[in-house]
Amino acid sequence: MKIVSIATSRKKGTKKTCVREAELIAGHGLNGDAHAGKWHRQVCFLASESIEKARSRGLDVTFGDFAENIATTGIDWKNIPVGTQLKLGEKALVEITQIGKECKKKCAIFYQAGDCIMPREGVFAKVLEGGVIHSGDKIEFLLSGNQVLQWKNGTDIPVRHLLIGEEPLSIRIQGKPYSVVMRTPGDEISHVAGFCLAEGIVDSVDDFKTLAFCDGEDTNVVTVILTPSRNKAVSDLLERKGFISQTSCGLCGKELIKDINQTISPLSDRIKIDINKALLCLESLSEHQPLRKETHASHAAALYTSGCRLLAAAEDVGRHNALDKAIGKLLLNRKLEKASLLVLSSRVSFELVQKAARANIPVILAISRPTDLAVKLATELNITIACLARDAGLFIYCGEKRLKR
């Protein structure tokens, strides 16, 4: 994106004369130009591509003929929202104030050129910071708030997106720091409850003496106090030096499977699930993802009964966090024993199998395929893993006997 030409005129409504450089004055416009002044249309822009199109239609026009101050290349001006700020050259800064304009009468430009594209394709701006600009200077978008650049058809377009939030959550157990996880704010108490179950810190909700925010709900710290008997039972786990969470951040350098800091028994074969109903749960997962509909950036985990009735669903920027939140909701409501089917929006990784096993959930269905290590661990723990097939149906990787078909 750059400046192709700069033009000024002493009178409004007339063709402008091209110059190699000019001074932009803050709160005024181009020095010596008739459009400058204390109003919202201090500088006007037009794409050089628009001028070329006018030439291709047979109009004898060149830069400045449509009364534009600055002709540019690489910018699709009609899609630039009002309020967008641009840096011109080394220091000049402008803000877009108007897209197009209404011409109440035909001006000299129309009669000289045979048409005037400025009302349709011109863009107007005010000068926030002054500076000298030159033909050939670069133009940069200064993005703010929820603006991002969309690269489309060879041009940059600033567009507004609602971005998903991410903040650290500090988990303190028995008054001491235990882990810090990155998560999407919300459901913190459920998140920590599910996290504690996955880590082997608790086996049931009765193991919690207290589970609360450290200082009001606006903090990023949750404190867990265990019952005396549970604290004694997991004292070795809590006192382990150099511990790094193995279920919310991957293995983090630990040895694989053999170094898991808990013993998980293989799950029983008593649960059977109708494969058609399970597939429907997977295909309808998006119905339980309101955050994804807004941001296109969240993972989801949903838990169902063996009859495929929804029990809980949760979303988060992290797939591990989403699962912890969903499991935590059921744990706190004493309904976790009803969960038999886990549906995930992500791939199935080793850590997610570990979390499902801790929660005694025998079947995992996911949008994406599992990792090799996940299938190996699921096979050892007698857990079913399946994912969407490319054309239709499911790929089943292990535990196929649980899916009735």
Task: For residue 249, indicate whether it is catalytic.
Answer: yes
Cα 251 from chain centroid?
Answer: 25
Identify the residue whose tokens are 């000289």: 112
pLDDT, one tens digit for every residue, the chain (405 residues): 899 999 998 887 677 889 999 999 999 999 999 889 999 989 999 888 888 888 887 777 888 888 789 999 988 887 788 888 889 998 999 999 998 776 656 555 555 555 567 777 889 999 999 999 999 999 988 766 555 656 655 566 666 666 567 678 888 999 888 888 878 888 899 999 999 998 889 999 999 999 998 876 656 889 999 999 999 998 888 876 434 444 444 333 233 444 443 567 888 888 899 888 999 999 888 888 888 888 888 899 999 999 999 999 999 988 899 999 999 999 999 999 999 999 999 888 888 988 999 999 999 999 988 887 788 888 889 999 888 887 677 888 888 888 887
Cα 395 from chain centroid?
Answer: 29
- Residue 339 is encoded by which pair of tokens? 């969960």
- Distance of alpha carbon 195 from alpha carbon 179, whole angstroms: 10
Question: What was the pLDDT predicted at 168?
Answer: 80
CB 377 within 8 A of CB 351: no
Cα 134 from chain centroid?
Answer: 38
Question: What was the pLDDT predicted at 389?
Answer: 80
CB 48 within 8 A of CB 72: yes
Residues facing 343 on adjacent strands = 302, 365
Query: What DSSP state is assigned to residue 56?
Result: H
Three-class SS of residue 336?
A: helix
- Residue 76 is encoded by which pair of tokens? 């699709």
Q: How far is CA 381 from each of CA 226, 252, 253, rounded to the nearest angstrom?
A: 28, 22, 22
Identify the residue whose tokens are 């996940």: 374
pTM: 0.56
Closest Cα to residue 346, out of 367, 320, 362?
Answer: 367
Residues facing 385 on adjacent strands = 364, 398
Domains in the chain (CATH in brackets) are 2-160 (2.40.33.20), 167-259 (3.10.20.10), 273-404 (3.40.140.10)
Q: How far is CA 58 from each of CA 106, 168, 350, rounded to the nearest angstrom?
A: 20, 61, 66
- Residue 56 is encoded by which pair of tokens? 């291709």
- Distance of alpha carbon 336 from alpha carbon 324, whole angstroms: 12
CB 321 within 8 A of CB 183: yes
Identify the residue whose tokens are 């913190």: 188
Question: Maximum CA pair distance of the chain?
Answer: 92
Angle at Cα 76 formed by Cα 73 and Cα 82, nearest 5°?
Answer: 120
Sign of CA dihedral 14, 15, 20, 24: positive
Three-class SS of residue 30?
A: strand
**Residue 208: exposure state from Cβ atoms within 10 A (0-12, 13-18, ≥19):** buried
- Distance of alpha carbon 275 from alpha carbon 263, whole angstroms: 30
Cα 71 from chain centroid?
Answer: 35
Query: What DSSP state is assigned to residue 38?
Result: S
Cα 348 from chain centroid?
Answer: 21
Of the listed 18, 103, 107, 249, which one is catalytic?
Answer: 249
Question: What was the pLDDT predicted at 133?
Answer: 94
